[in-house]
Amino acid sequence: MILWDVDGTLVEVGRGRDDKHRRAVEILGACVIPEQSRQGGKTDVQIITELVRDNNLNLEIIPDALKLLDQLTIEELGQQPLQAAENALSTLSEFSKRGWINGLLTGNTHARAKMKLESAGLLDEISEKFSFDGQEALDRLQLSRGASETLLQSGIGSAVIVGDTPLDIEAARFAGFACVAVATGSFDVDELAKCDPDLLIQDLSIGFNSLTSFIETRFRS
Protein backbone atom coordinates (compact mmCIF):
# COMPACT_ATOMS: atom_id res chain seq x y z
CA MET A 1 0.00 0.00 0.00
CA ILE A 2 1.35 3.40 -1.02
CA LEU A 3 -0.33 6.45 0.51
CA TRP A 4 0.35 9.51 -1.61
CA ASP A 5 0.16 13.16 -0.67
CA VAL A 6 -1.42 15.37 -3.35
CA ASP A 7 -0.11 18.96 -3.40
CA GLY A 8 3.58 19.17 -4.25
CA THR A 9 3.83 15.38 -4.58
CA LEU A 10 1.39 14.19 -7.24
CA VAL A 11 0.39 17.59 -8.57
CA GLU A 12 2.41 20.73 -9.09
CA VAL A 13 1.81 23.61 -6.69
CA GLY A 14 1.14 26.42 -9.13
CA ARG A 15 2.48 29.89 -8.50
CA GLY A 16 0.01 32.72 -8.52
CA ARG A 17 -2.83 30.63 -7.19
CA ASP A 18 -5.10 32.28 -4.67
CA ASP A 19 -4.78 31.58 -0.94
CA LYS A 20 -8.23 30.04 -0.82
CA HIS A 21 -8.22 29.15 2.89
CA ARG A 22 -7.59 32.74 3.86
CA ARG A 23 -10.06 34.04 1.30
CA ALA A 24 -12.83 31.72 2.51
CA VAL A 25 -12.40 32.89 6.11
CA GLU A 26 -12.15 36.54 5.06
CA ILE A 27 -15.43 36.29 3.15
CA LEU A 28 -17.34 34.61 5.96
CA GLY A 29 -15.67 36.55 8.75
CA ALA A 30 -15.96 39.91 6.96
CA CYS A 31 -12.36 40.75 7.83
CA VAL A 32 -8.89 41.06 6.37
CA ILE A 33 -6.38 38.36 7.32
CA PRO A 34 -2.60 38.78 6.91
CA GLU A 35 -0.71 36.44 4.60
CA GLN A 36 0.17 33.16 6.29
CA SER A 37 3.47 31.32 6.54
CA ARG A 38 3.89 27.97 4.82
CA GLN A 39 1.02 25.63 5.61
CA GLY A 40 2.42 22.56 3.84
CA GLY A 41 1.25 19.29 5.36
CA LYS A 42 -1.58 20.70 7.44
CA THR A 43 -5.13 19.51 6.83
CA ASP A 44 -7.72 21.88 5.39
CA VAL A 45 -9.70 21.59 8.61
CA GLN A 46 -6.62 22.52 10.64
CA ILE A 47 -5.77 25.54 8.48
CA ILE A 48 -9.31 26.89 8.51
CA THR A 49 -9.67 26.29 12.26
CA GLU A 50 -6.39 28.08 13.03
CA LEU A 51 -7.35 31.05 10.85
CA VAL A 52 -10.71 31.37 12.59
CA ARG A 53 -9.27 31.04 16.10
CA ASP A 54 -6.23 33.27 15.50
CA ASN A 55 -8.47 36.06 14.22
CA ASN A 56 -11.01 35.73 17.05
CA LEU A 57 -13.86 34.75 14.75
CA ASN A 58 -16.88 32.61 15.57
CA LEU A 59 -15.96 28.91 15.39
CA GLU A 60 -19.40 28.21 13.95
CA ILE A 61 -18.24 29.51 10.56
CA ILE A 62 -15.75 26.64 10.13
CA PRO A 63 -18.13 24.20 8.33
CA ASP A 64 -19.27 26.94 5.95
CA ALA A 65 -15.68 28.02 5.37
CA LEU A 66 -14.77 24.47 4.32
CA LYS A 67 -17.70 24.38 1.90
CA LEU A 68 -16.66 27.74 0.49
CA LEU A 69 -13.09 26.44 0.18
CA ASP A 70 -14.37 23.61 -2.01
CA GLN A 71 -16.32 26.06 -4.14
CA LEU A 72 -13.36 28.40 -4.57
CA THR A 73 -11.28 25.42 -5.65
CA ILE A 74 -13.86 24.47 -8.29
CA GLU A 75 -13.79 28.02 -9.64
CA GLU A 76 -9.99 28.20 -9.72
CA LEU A 77 -9.53 24.81 -11.40
CA GLY A 78 -12.03 25.85 -14.05
CA GLN A 79 -9.71 28.73 -14.94
CA GLN A 80 -6.33 27.17 -14.10
CA PRO A 81 -6.23 23.36 -14.42
CA LEU A 82 -3.54 21.62 -12.44
CA GLN A 83 -0.54 19.83 -13.90
CA ALA A 84 0.58 16.43 -12.70
CA ALA A 85 4.05 16.37 -11.19
CA GLU A 86 6.73 15.11 -13.56
CA ASN A 87 6.46 11.31 -14.00
CA ALA A 88 3.54 11.10 -11.54
CA LEU A 89 1.11 9.43 -13.96
CA SER A 90 3.61 6.88 -15.25
CA THR A 91 4.74 6.11 -11.68
CA LEU A 92 1.19 5.49 -10.49
CA SER A 93 0.46 3.39 -13.56
CA GLU A 94 3.61 1.29 -13.16
CA PHE A 95 2.91 0.69 -9.49
CA SER A 96 -0.64 -0.43 -10.29
CA LYS A 97 0.74 -2.89 -12.85
CA ARG A 98 2.95 -4.34 -10.14
CA GLY A 99 -0.14 -4.99 -8.04
CA TRP A 100 0.58 -2.23 -5.55
CA ILE A 101 -2.36 -0.16 -4.31
CA ASN A 102 -2.09 3.60 -4.77
CA GLY A 103 -4.07 5.32 -2.01
CA LEU A 104 -4.03 8.82 -0.56
CA LEU A 105 -3.07 10.48 2.68
CA THR A 106 -3.78 14.14 2.00
CA GLY A 107 -4.67 17.25 3.95
CA ASN A 108 -7.21 18.25 1.29
CA THR A 109 -10.91 17.82 1.88
CA HIS A 110 -12.41 14.84 0.05
CA ALA A 111 -13.86 17.07 -2.66
CA ARG A 112 -10.67 19.09 -3.17
CA ALA A 113 -8.47 15.99 -3.40
CA LYS A 114 -10.77 14.46 -6.00
CA MET A 115 -11.01 17.69 -8.00
CA LYS A 116 -7.27 18.22 -8.05
CA LEU A 117 -6.45 14.67 -9.11
CA GLU A 118 -9.12 14.76 -11.80
CA SER A 119 -7.81 18.11 -13.06
CA ALA A 120 -4.30 16.66 -13.32
CA GLY A 121 -5.47 13.43 -14.98
CA LEU A 122 -4.48 11.18 -12.07
CA LEU A 123 -7.78 10.24 -10.44
CA ASP A 124 -8.23 6.89 -12.22
CA GLU A 125 -4.96 5.61 -10.77
CA ILE A 126 -6.01 6.13 -7.14
CA SER A 127 -7.96 3.70 -4.96
CA GLU A 128 -10.90 5.53 -3.43
CA LYS A 129 -11.33 2.76 -0.84
CA PHE A 130 -7.91 3.47 0.62
CA SER A 131 -7.89 7.26 0.42
CA PHE A 132 -7.67 9.24 3.63
CA ASP A 133 -8.26 12.97 3.46
CA GLY A 134 -8.13 16.09 5.57
CA GLN A 135 -11.85 16.09 6.21
CA GLU A 136 -11.46 13.06 8.47
CA ALA A 137 -9.14 14.57 11.09
CA LEU A 138 -8.06 17.88 12.56
CA ASP A 139 -4.38 17.29 11.88
CA ARG A 140 -2.14 14.96 9.88
CA LEU A 141 -1.08 12.87 12.86
CA GLN A 142 -4.67 11.95 13.64
CA LEU A 143 -5.25 11.30 9.96
CA SER A 144 -2.31 8.90 9.69
CA ARG A 145 -3.29 7.06 12.87
CA GLY A 146 -6.81 6.58 11.51
CA ALA A 147 -5.38 5.30 8.23
CA SER A 148 -3.19 2.82 10.10
CA GLU A 149 -6.17 1.42 12.02
CA THR A 150 -8.24 1.09 8.85
CA LEU A 151 -5.45 -0.69 6.97
CA LEU A 152 -4.90 -3.14 9.82
CA GLN A 153 -8.61 -3.95 9.86
CA SER A 154 -8.39 -4.59 6.10
CA GLY A 155 -5.49 -7.00 6.56
CA ILE A 156 -2.90 -4.61 5.11
CA GLY A 157 0.11 -4.51 7.38
CA SER A 158 2.64 -2.59 5.33
CA ALA A 159 2.34 0.93 3.95
CA VAL A 160 4.60 3.67 2.64
CA ILE A 161 3.75 7.37 2.75
CA VAL A 162 5.09 9.51 -0.08
CA GLY A 163 4.96 13.25 0.61
CA ASP A 164 6.77 16.54 0.26
CA THR A 165 6.67 18.09 3.75
CA PRO A 166 8.14 17.49 7.21
CA LEU A 167 4.61 16.78 8.43
CA ASP A 168 4.33 13.86 6.01
CA ILE A 169 7.44 12.38 7.57
CA GLU A 170 6.20 13.03 11.11
CA ALA A 171 2.81 11.49 10.31
CA ALA A 172 4.46 8.37 8.91
CA ARG A 173 6.53 7.94 12.05
CA PHE A 174 3.46 8.51 14.23
CA ALA A 175 1.50 5.76 12.46
CA GLY A 176 4.39 3.33 12.12
CA PHE A 177 4.64 3.71 8.33
CA ALA A 178 7.73 4.04 6.19
CA CYS A 179 8.16 7.44 4.56
CA VAL A 180 9.55 8.68 1.26
CA ALA A 181 10.12 12.44 0.99
CA VAL A 182 9.98 14.11 -2.43
CA ALA A 183 11.53 17.57 -2.83
CA THR A 184 8.99 18.83 -5.36
CA GLY A 185 6.94 21.00 -3.02
CA SER A 186 7.81 24.03 -0.92
CA PHE A 187 10.52 22.25 1.10
CA ASP A 188 13.90 21.60 -0.49
CA VAL A 189 16.18 18.59 -0.15
CA ASP A 190 18.16 20.06 2.75
CA GLU A 191 15.05 20.89 4.76
CA LEU A 192 13.58 17.43 4.25
CA ALA A 193 16.88 15.68 4.99
CA LYS A 194 16.88 17.20 8.49
CA CYS A 195 13.67 15.22 9.19
CA ASP A 196 15.44 11.93 8.37
CA PRO A 197 12.94 10.24 6.04
CA ASP A 198 13.51 6.59 5.14
CA LEU A 199 14.18 7.69 1.57
CA LEU A 200 14.65 11.16 0.08
CA ILE A 201 14.40 11.76 -3.66
CA GLN A 202 14.56 14.89 -5.77
CA ASP A 203 11.45 14.05 -7.81
CA LEU A 204 9.46 11.14 -9.25
CA SER A 205 11.54 11.12 -12.43
CA ILE A 206 15.10 11.17 -11.16
CA GLY A 207 14.13 9.15 -8.09
CA PHE A 208 11.86 6.58 -9.77
CA ASN A 209 14.27 3.65 -9.59
CA SER A 210 15.22 4.38 -5.99
CA LEU A 211 11.57 4.71 -5.01
CA THR A 212 10.61 1.47 -6.74
CA SER A 213 13.48 -0.48 -5.16
CA PHE A 214 12.64 0.93 -1.73
CA ILE A 215 8.99 -0.08 -1.95
CA GLU A 216 9.84 -3.54 -3.28
CA THR A 217 12.11 -4.09 -0.30
CA ARG A 218 9.47 -2.85 2.14
CA PHE A 219 6.74 -5.06 0.71
CA ARG A 220 8.99 -8.13 0.85
CA SER A 221 9.83 -7.61 4.51
Tell whether 110 and 216 lie within a shared domain. yes
Residue 16 CB neighbour total at 10 angstroms: 5
Amino acid, res. 167: L
Q: How many domains does the chain have?
A: 2
Are 173 and 202 in a shared domain?
yes
Look at residues 79, 99, 125 and tell me which one is the last residue of a structural domain.
79
- Domain with 136, as residue range(s), is 2-13+83-220
pTM of structure: 0.93
Mind listing the pLDDT tens digit for each residue in 163-185?
999 999 999 999 999 999 999 99
> Which pLDDT score, from 0 to 100, does residue 8 have?
94
Looking at residues 126-152, what average pLDDT do you find?
A: 92
pLDDT at 38 over 70: no
Which percentage of the chain shows pLDDT scores above 90? Answer: 85
Distance CA 212, CA 126 (A): 17
Whether residues 53 and 124 share a domain: the answer is no
Distances in Å between the alpha carbon of 67 and those of 28, 112, 157, 195? Answer: 11, 10, 34, 33
